[in-house]
Amino acid sequence: MKHLDDIPSTPGKFKMDKSPYFHRTRWQSSVAKLAFWSLVFVGLIFIFFYRSPSSNPVSSDPSRRSLRTYSWGGPAWEKRVRSSARVRTRHGVSVLVTGAAGFVGTHVSAALKRRGDGVLGLDNFNDYYDPSLKRARQALLERSGVFVVEGDINDAALLKKLFEVVPFTHVMHLAAQAGVRYAMENPSSYVHSNIAGFVNLLEVCKSANPQPAIVWASSSSVYGLNTKVPFSEKDRTDQPASLYAATKKAGEEIAHTYNHIYGLSLTGLRFFTVYGPWGRPDMAYFFFTRDILKGKAISIFEGVNHGTVARDFTYIDDIVKGCLGALDTAEKSTGSGGKKRGQAQLRVFNLGNTSPVPVTDLVSILERLLKVKAKKNMMKLPRNGDVPFTHANISSAQRELGYKPTTDLQTGLKKFARWYLGYYSGGKKAAG
Ligand SMILES: O=C(O)[C@H]1O[C@H](OP(=O)(O)OP(=O)(O)OC[C@H]2O[C@@H](n3ccc(=O)[nH]c3=O)[C@H](O)[C@@H]2O)[C@H](O)[C@@H](O)[C@H]1O
């Protein structure tokens, strides 16, 4: 075991004979070490710049599970952006749709494209729910000529670039961290997307020349603990029941500020529990369908003393009509180069269905459509941000946007169920 005893426990303490041969080997080994560390150093620099070239800034969302690197820029990319945003009719508009691979974003983008408007999508494809569903929506849009740029609304350089390439007349801002209950799990993602991201977008819009008019998604959740029904835009919205609601309410106040200081035209739309084909898997109607089909029990919330929990469920096609009505009636922003030149439009509208349905009825409809009896667990409405009841007064939207919902829950869920069964057919894909 002598050889083992000769090796010192601390490297460098090993004493060697100082022969000429030793000097040569030591010199050679130093050169080798130097070469090795230089290579490592050069490699690290290469990796750093390769992953974040100045023309393609890294935009990663710190509040996300997946840190992503987006790549954008270059003549071919700009050509795609321009072509997607090109207006094809005489009175068409060019719209930047944020959250274009989301549920509402996909439907609105497709509808705008169908009528000849120029549409460019933007989406960060985060993994809040199954990103493959977002990719499928993207593929759908690509087929109809809408390019969805992969990037985050917090990436100011990307947004500025988009406005440099296309002078958008409108922004339809639908990118958001959605979901009422998830806000307790990942609060910072709501601040990051719904507040920081919104401000970043408005900063770029205010400096754009011309400034676009902005229509954006607020939420019925801003009514929070309000008990006066139906909910009217004049009712108080200072008692949010979830952080999600609080960030949407903050968005409405932020919109006021940018309208006031910079003359940006801003319209907020308070969506009421939107559902339909290509919907969000984190919403009750969607995961109830999945769980009922799998024979898995579902939890149905009930209020105090077994009180009814109900929602003013609104079908996606009606919401799309409301969004287009808001875009079409949006007046131009009045500022330019970051300076206000006059009063600009500031609006907020409820987009609901005006007929609340108990969640128990939603489940009965699904049972009939799916021809499967649900395994139900009734449970008390948890204190996680849910509110017992929503009901929209839509007279403002009716008057000013020509908004008129026409789809009842039974009809809308039938269309959803047909889509769901087709999309997830053969058990090939599991709804995430
Ligand atoms: O209008 C909005 O502004 C919001 O609408 C949506 O929120 P909600 O209306 O809460 O929809 P959703 O979660 O589908 O629950 C539906 C019903 O099922 C009940 N519910 C829910 C889960 C469950 O396990 N059991 C249950 O009974 C639950 O108590 C509720 O009564 C969007 O998600 C949100 O992003 C936002 O846009």
Which DSSP state fits 221? G
What does the pLDDT average to over 21-44? 56
- Ligand 1 contact via 351 beta carbon (within 6 Å): no
194 within 8 A of 219, measured Cβ to Cβ: no
Lowest mean pLDDT among 40-49, 188-197, 241-250: 40-49
Structural domain includes residue 194: yes
Catalytic, 182? Answer no
Structural domain includes residue 3: no
pLDDT digits (tens, 9 = 90+) for 239-298: 999 999 999 999 999 999 999 999 999 999 999 999 999 999 999 999 999 999 999 999
Structural domain includes residue 328: yes
Reduced to 3 states, what is the DSSP secondary structure of residue 216? strand
297 within 8 A of 303, measured Cβ to Cβ: no
70 pLDDT higher than 90: no
Smallest CA separation from ligand 1 atom 13, residue? 283
User: Catalytic pick from 128, 129, 223, 244?
Assistant: 244
Residue from 282, 273, 305, 321 nearest 378 by CA: 305
- Ligand 1 contact via 183 beta carbon (within 6 Å): no
**Is this prediction's ipTM beyond 0.90?**
yes
* Domains: count for the chain: 1
Q: What percent of the chain has pLDDT over 90?
A: 79
Query: Domain range spanning residue 206?
Result: 176-274+316-353+391-406
- Ligand 1 contact via 309 beta carbon (within 6 Å): yes
Give me the CATH number covering residue 235. 3.40.50.720
15 pLDDT higher than 80: no
Which DSSP state fits 212? P
The band of 61, judged by pLDDT with boundaries at 50, 70 and 90, is very low
Structural domain includes residue 61: no
Q: What is the dihedral of CA 73, 79, 82, 84, to 10 degrees?
A: -100
- Ligand 1 contact via 182 beta carbon (within 6 Å): no
- Ligand 1 contact via 311 beta carbon (within 6 Å): yes
With the most atoms of ligand 1 within 8 angstroms of its CB, the residue from 184, 223, 359 to mutate is 359
Structural domain includes residue 9: no
The band of 32, judged by pLDDT with boundaries at 50, 70 and 90, is low
Rounded-to-integer distance, Cα 321 and Cα 266, Å: 18
The band of 13, judged by pLDDT with boundaries at 50, 70 and 90, is very low
Q: Which atom of ligand 1 is nearest to the CA of 217?
A: 37
Residue from 132, 94, 135 nearest 112 by CA: 94
Structural domain includes residue 48: no
Lowest mean pLDDT among 62-66, 141-145, 257-261, 355-359: 62-66
Structural domain includes residue 213: yes
Handedness of CA 232, 236, 239, 243 (dihedral sign): positive
Structural domain includes residue 103: no
pLDDT for 229: 95
The band of 431, judged by pLDDT with boundaries at 50, 70 and 90, is low
The band of 1, judged by pLDDT with boundaries at 50, 70 and 90, is very low
